[in-house]
């Protein structure tokens, strides 16, 4: 939600339920918990960056049960791979600022921390719960002398993409992100599913439910393809030589 007041979500979800819609569409892992708690009868189609089973949205991926189904971006599981690719692209990084919203349901931090140990990288968590928290997070990053930034994509970070990228550019910090325009807007690279494709799949589920299919009979859809975007223009500005082998694996290379 754009107002920056996530505490209003339960009341907003309850208001929507009182209108008795045919289907509720919960776009994002931040609003899905409020939707699934607000009703156990109205069909819900959701998109979630994290594992909906671990978050308690559904019983299982294959057989959701209940009144909710949708798609997951599996960003928890991608955290390790994303950090590995980041280290390949920028081998000198050793202290990475991990910018995330603790109020957004995901498990990227523990996944990334496990991989960081094996890569010899130290993660510095930088929590932001609202727009007013970014300045303090940037100060903390500077004081911790981070040499790179890992951004957990969420509604909050995507709404503040310009501020984040400006901070990275001003401090010559390589930046990696998941879905969103991180690499296309001057970050070093991004790695994640095609969100437009996944959202289209969710919309197709809405159509099927309106035609009579029960949410319980629609398995949770997962991404089958992940996109790696590398910004060589940014790499050059940072004095980085991204390995040719990694460039060849990329779905898009920006020069």
Indicate whether 240 belongs to any domain.
yes
- Pairing, β 226-231 against β 189-193: antiparallel
Indicate whether 120 belongs to any domain.
yes
Indicate whether 216 belongs to any domain.
yes
- Across 27-31, 118-122, 136-140, least confident range: 27-31
Assess whether 102 and 136 both reside in one domain.
yes
Assess whether 167 and 240 both reside in one domain.
yes
Indicate whether 183 belongs to any domain.
yes
Residue matched to tokens 């928890």: 76
Assess whether 127 and 157 both reside in one domain.
yes
Assess whether 132 and 217 both reside in one domain.
no
Q: Summarize pLDDT for 177-195 with one digit per residue, the tens.
A: 987 689 998 999 999 988 8
CB atoms within 10 A of CB 171: 14
Residues of the domain holding 214: 6-74+194-225
Output the pLDDT for position 75.
67
Assess whether 89 and 213 both reside in one domain.
no
Q: Which of 43, 19, 93 is nearest to 205 (CA)?
A: 43
Query: At residue 3, does pLDDT exceed 70?
Result: no
Q: What is the chain's mean pLDDT, rounded?
A: 92
- Better-predicted residue by pLDDT, 75 or 196: 196
pTM of the model: 0.87
Q: Which two tokens stand for residue 80?
A: 């390790």
Query: At residue 123, does pLDDT exceed 90?
Result: yes
Indicate whether 207 belongs to any domain.
yes
Assess whether 53 and 146 both reside in one domain.
no
Query: Above pLDDT 70, what percent of the chain?
Result: 96
Assess whether 24 and 91 both reside in one domain.
no
Query: Above pLDDT 90, what percent of the chain?
Result: 73
Output the pLDDT for position 4.
55
Query: At residue 2, does pLDDT exceed 50?
Result: no
Give CA separation, 44 vs 22, 113, 135, in Å: 9, 33, 36
Assess whether 132 and 247 both reside in one domain.
yes
Residue 52's Cβ-count burial label (10 Å; 0-12, 13-18, 19+) is buried
Assess whether 20 and 129 both reside in one domain.
no
Indicate whether 1 belongs to any domain.
no
Number of domains within the chain: 2
Q: Summarize pLDDT for 43-57 with one digit per residue, the tens.
A: 999 998 888 898 889
CATH number at residue 45: 3.40.50.2300
Output the pLDDT for position 178.
87
Q: Summarize pLDDT for 136-147 with one digit per residue, the tens.
A: 999 999 999 999
Confirm if 47 and 28 have CB atoms less than 8 A apart.
Answer: yes
Assess whether 198 and 150 both reside in one domain.
no
Output the pLDDT for position 89.
97
Q: What is the mean pLDDT of residues 212-238?
A: 95
Assess whether 92 and 210 both reside in one domain.
no
Assess whether 187 and 240 both reside in one domain.
yes
Output the pLDDT for position 28.
83
């Amino acid at each position: 939600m754009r107002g920056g007041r996530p505490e209003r979500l339960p009341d907003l979800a309850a208001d929507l339920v009182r209108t008795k819609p045919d289907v509720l569409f919960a776009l994002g892992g931040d609003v899905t918990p409020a939707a699934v708690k607000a009703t156990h009868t109205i069909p819900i189609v959701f998109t979630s960056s994290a594992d909906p089973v671990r978050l308690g949205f559904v019983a299982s991926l294959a057989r959701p049960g209940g009144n909710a189904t949708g798609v997951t971006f599996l960003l928890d599981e991608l955290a390790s791979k994303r950090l590995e690719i980041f280290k390949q692209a920028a081998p000198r990084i050793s202290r990475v600022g991990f910018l995330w919203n603790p109020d957004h349901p995901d498990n990227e931090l523990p996944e990334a921390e496990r991989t960081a140990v094996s890569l010899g990288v130290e993660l510095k968590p930088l929590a932001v719960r609202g727009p007013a928290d970014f300045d303090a997070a940037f100060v903390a990053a500077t004081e911790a002398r981070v040499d790179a930034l890992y951004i957990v994509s969420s509604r909050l970070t995507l709404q503040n993409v310009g501020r984040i990228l400006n901070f990275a550019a001003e401090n010559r910090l390589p930046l990696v992100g998941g879905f969103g325009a991180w690499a296309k807007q001057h970050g070093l690279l991004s790695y994640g599913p095609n969100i437009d494709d996944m959202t289209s799949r969710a919309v197709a589920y809405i159509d099927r439910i309106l035609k009579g299919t029960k949410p319980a009979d629609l398995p949770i859809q997962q991404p089958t393809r992940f996109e790696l975007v590398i910004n060589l223009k940014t790499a050059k500005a940072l004095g980085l030589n991204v390995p040719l082998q990694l460039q060849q694996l990329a779905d898009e290379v920006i020069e």
